[in-house]
Amino acid sequence: MMKNIMIIDYWKNEFQLGESVINSPIFSLFSYSGSDEDYSMSWLKIAEVDLFSCTPDLIKQLNLKKYPPTSSEELLARLSHANFNWYGADQIFYLSEIECEKLQNEPFSQTVRRLTQVDKVLFDEFCSQNSVEDLDGAYVELDHWRVMGLFEQEKLIAVASAYPWDDSLFADMGILTHPDHRQKGYAKLLIRALSKLILNDGYEPQYRCQLDNFSSLALAKKAGFSSFGQLDFILKNESDDDN
């Protein structure tokens, strides 16, 4: 279970912005006009607790103030009945405070180093050897805030990058390993090296993946990350177009 109080407080505060519609220990719904412009509703599930943040327009459209749902199950059923679909949940992982301390005492492998624009030829060659689907899923970019690569005999075989998550002190990470070098422990080594760099720069490493991405779920646990919760969205253009 996640023990980092800063992380818990951030998400709790994020889902208590705006006007309270429902606020119970296990189910809350807030109407917030400052929500991300791309989303009509956000849903964070932490263990048995369900937190929802919604635009005032959707609150009004579903009459949620006049007839507030009594449970998260009722809210989800009403959304489904009105043909609102969730984008697809991400599992969110963080390092516990104990794991952060442990990581600080680990040396970087000599096969790992930071990447910059000087490495563009190496990076482009690496990307050309991965599928478009893998590149889209990993979302590693040379111009991200922090980028690291893992080498084998001077060949770039894995890349991990991170960028600040909205206005938080989280750094959201992506990682991709060359198809010929997977299942060899390289991803774990690189993600821990990048996590240490992120921590040293004053940020918290954040790792996300879809619930059906079993290899990424396994990597998170192997790399010492703890599951925090599941985050999902209803896209605003869907609510505008379909309802």
241 pLDDT higher than 60: no
Around Cβ 96, how many Cβ atoms within 10 Å? Answer: 17
pLDDT tens for residues 156-205? 999 999 999 988 999 999 999 999 999 999 999 999 999 999 999 999 99
Taking Cα atoms as reference points, which of 3, 7, 18 lies closest to residue 206? 7
140 and 46 in a common domain: no
pTM of the complete model: 0.91
121 and 40 in a common domain: no
Q: Which of 47, 69, 90 is the last residue of a domain?
A: 90
Q: Evaluate whether residue 192 is within a structural domain.
A: yes
Give the model's pLDDT for residue 2.
54
DSSP 103: H
Q: Evaluate whether residue 127 is within a structural domain.
A: yes
185 and 81 in a common domain: no
166 and 62 in a common domain: no
Domain count, the chain: 2
Bridge partners of 167, per DSSP, are none
Tell me the backbone φ, ψ of residue 167, rounded to 5 degrees.
-105, 25
Please report, for the domain that includes residue 154, its CATH number.
3.40.630.30
Report the C-alpha gap between 218 and 37 in whole angstroms: 33
103 and 27 in a common domain: no
Q: Evaluate whether residue 178 is within a structural domain.
A: yes
With a CB cutoff of 8 Å and minimum separation 6, the contacts of 164 are 145, 170, 171, 172, 203
Place of tokens 């190496």: 122
Confidence of residue 37 (pLDDT cuts 50, 70, 90): confident
Report the C-alpha gap between 60 and 178 in whole angstroms: 49
Confidence of residue 5 (pLDDT cuts 50, 70, 90): confident
Q: Which domain holds residue 184?
A: 97-223
Give the model's pLDDT for residue 108.
84
3-state secondary structure 21-45: EEECCCEEEEECCCCCCCEEEEEEE
Q: Is the dihedral of CA 12, 16, 21, 23 positive or negative?
A: positive
Give the model's pLDDT for residue 110.
87
Report the C-alpha gap between 97 and 7 in whole angstroms: 10
Confidence of residue 3 (pLDDT cuts 50, 70, 90): low
170 and 82 in a common domain: no
Q: Evaluate whether residue 162 is within a structural domain.
A: yes
121 and 36 in a common domain: no
142 and 66 in a common domain: no
Q: Evaluate whether residue 240 is within a structural domain.
A: no
pLDDT tens for residues 114-148? 999 999 999 999 999 999 999 998 999 999 999 99
107 and 9 in a common domain: no
Q: Evaluate whether residue 234 is within a structural domain.
A: no
Q: Evaluate whether residue 26 is within a structural domain.
A: yes
Q: Evaluate whether residue 156 is within a structural domain.
A: yes
238 pLDDT higher than 80: no
Mean pLDDT of the chain: 93
- Evaluate whether 230 touches 217 at the Cβ level (below 8 Å): no
Q: Is the dihedral of CA 233, 236, 242, 243 positive or negative?
A: positive
117 and 204 in a common domain: yes
Q: Which of 40, 75, 90 is the last residue of a domain?
A: 90
pLDDT tens for residues 60-82? 999 999 999 999 999 999 999 99
171 and 104 in a common domain: yes
Give the model's pLDDT for residue 12.
92
3-state secondary structure 171-238: EEEEEEECHHHCCCCHHHHHHHHHHHHHHHCCCEEEEEEECCCHHHHHHHHHCCCEEEEEEEEEEHHH
Give the model's pLDDT for residue 38.
87
- Evaluate whether 28 touches 20 at the Cβ level (below 8 Å): yes
In this prediction, residues 89-108 reach a mean pLDDT of 94
- Evaluate whether 91 touches 208 at the Cβ level (below 8 Å): yes
What burial letters (b/e) apply to 144-154, b meaning 16+ CB within 10 Å? bebbbbbbeee
36 and 132 in a common domain: no
